[in-house]
Structure 1
Amino acid sequence: MEIDAPTTAAPADVHQGLHGERGALRGEHPDRARNPVIKAVGLGRLEFVKPDLDRAERFARDFGFVVHDRTPDLLTLRGTFAAEPCLVVRRGRTARFAGPVFLAESVADVHRLARWAGANVLPLDGGHAVRLTDPSGIPVRVAAGLDRPAALAERAPLELNSGTAPTRVNAVQRPPRAPAPVQRLGHVVLETTKFRRALSWYQEALGLIVSDFLYLDALRDRGPTMAFLRCDLGPVPADHHTLAMHLGPRVGYVHSAYQVTDLDAVAAGGQYLADRGYRRVWGVGRHVQGSQIFDYWRDPDRMMVEHYADGDVFDASVEPGWTPMSASGLAQWGPPVSRDFLGGTPGPGMVATLLGALGDGTNEIDRDTLKALAKAMAA
Structure 2
Amino acid sequence: MESAHANLHSDRGPLRGERPGRARDPVIKVRDLAWLEFEKTGLRRAESFAADFGFAVAARTPDALYLRGTLPGPQCVVIRRGPASRFVGPVFQAAAAEDLTRLARACGATVRESADPGGGRVVSLRDPSGIPVRVVHGAAEWPALPEQPVLTMNVGPRPMRINTAQRPAPEPARVRRLGHVVLETRWFERTLDWYLDTLGMIVSDFLFLDDQRDRGPTMAFIRCDRGAEPADHHTLALHLGPGAGYVHSAYQVADMDAVAAGGRYLASRGHRRVWGIGRHVQGSQIFDYWRDPDRLMMEHFADGDLFDCTVEPGWAPMSASGLAQWGPPVTRDFLGTDPSPALLRSVVTALREDNEIDVPRLLGLMKAMRA
Same fold (TM over 0.5): yes
Match of 1:370 in 2: 362
The one-letter code of the counterpart of 1:252 is G
Match of 2:215 in 1: 222
Correspondent of 2:32 among 42, 48, 72: 42
Asked whether the 8 Å contact 1:15–1:321 carries over to 2, the reply is no
Correspondent of 1:19 among 11, 30, 39: 11
- Matched ranges for 1:218-297 at <5 A: 218-297=211-290
- TM-score (structure 1 length as normaliser): 0.94
Q: Deviation digits for residues 296-355 of structure 1, max 9, x if unmatched? A: 000000000000000000000011110000000000000000010000411222111101
The one-letter code of the counterpart of 1:375 is K
Which structure 2 residue ranges, 5 or more long, are not aligned?
none
Q: Which structure 1 residue ranges, 4+ long, deviate > 4 Å from structure 2? A: 14-17
Q: Deviation digits for residues 116-140 of structure 1, max 9, x if unmatched? A: 0010111124211100000010000
The one-letter code of the counterpart of 1:59 is F
1:97 and 2:87 correspond: yes
Moved more, 210-219 or 156-165: 156-165
Q: Report the CA distance between 1:59 and its aligned residue.
A: 0.2
Correspondent of 2:139 among 146, 152, 156: 146
Q: Report the CA distance between 1:162 and its aligned residue.
A: 1.3
Correspondent of 1:61 among 51, 54, 57: 51
The one-letter code of the counterpart of 2:68 is R
Asked whether the 8 Å contact 1:86–1:184 carries over to 2, the reply is yes
The one-letter code of the counterpart of 2:198 is A
Match of 1:77 in 2: 67
Say if 1:81 and 1:254 are closer, same or farther in 2 by CA, change over 3 A.
same
The one-letter code of the counterpart of 2:67 is L
The one-letter code of the counterpart of 1:282 is W
Match of 1:202 in 2: 195
The one-letter code of the counterpart of 2:111 is V
Provide the alpha-carbon RMSD of the alignment: 1.3
Moved more, 249-258 or 66-75: 66-75
1:321 and 2:314 correspond: yes
Say if 1:17 and 1:269 are closer, same or farther in 2 by CA, change over 3 A.
closer
Q: Deviation digits for residues 153-206 of structure 1, max 9, x if unmatched? A: 113321100133101122221111210000000000000000000000000111
User: Aligned partners of 1:17, 1:258: CA distance in 2, in Å?
Assistant: 21
Match of 2:18 in 1: 28
Q: Report the CA distance between 1:17 and its aligned residue.
A: 7.9
Say if 1:255 and 1:14 are closer, same or farther in 2 by CA, change over 3 A.
farther
Identical-pair percentage: 63
- TM-score (structure 2 length as normaliser): 0.96
Moved more, 141-150 or 169-178: 169-178
User: Aligned partners of 1:265, 1:287: CA distance in 2, in Å?
Assistant: 17
Match of 2:150 in 1: 157
Residue aligned with 1:116, SS: helix
User: Aligned partners of 1:149, 1:308: CA distance in 2, in Å?
Assistant: 22
Residue aligned with 2:160, SS: coil
Residue aligned with 2:49, SS: helix
Residue aligned with 1:49, SS: strand
Which structure 1 residue ranges, 5 or more long, are not aligned?
1-10
Asked whether the 8 Å contact 1:123–1:129 carries over to 2, the reply is yes
Moved more, 166-175 or 282-291: 166-175
Residue aligned with 1:370, SS: helix
Asked whether the 8 Å contact 2:206–2:219 carries over to 1, the reply is yes
Q: Report the CA distance between 1:236 and its aligned residue.
A: 0.5
Residue aligned with 1:332, SS: strand
Match of 1:213 in 2: 206
User: Aligned partners of 1:118, 1:260: CA distance in 2, in Å?
Assistant: 39
Match of 1:116 in 2: 106
1:301 and 2:294 correspond: yes
Q: Count residues with an aligned counterpart.
A: 366
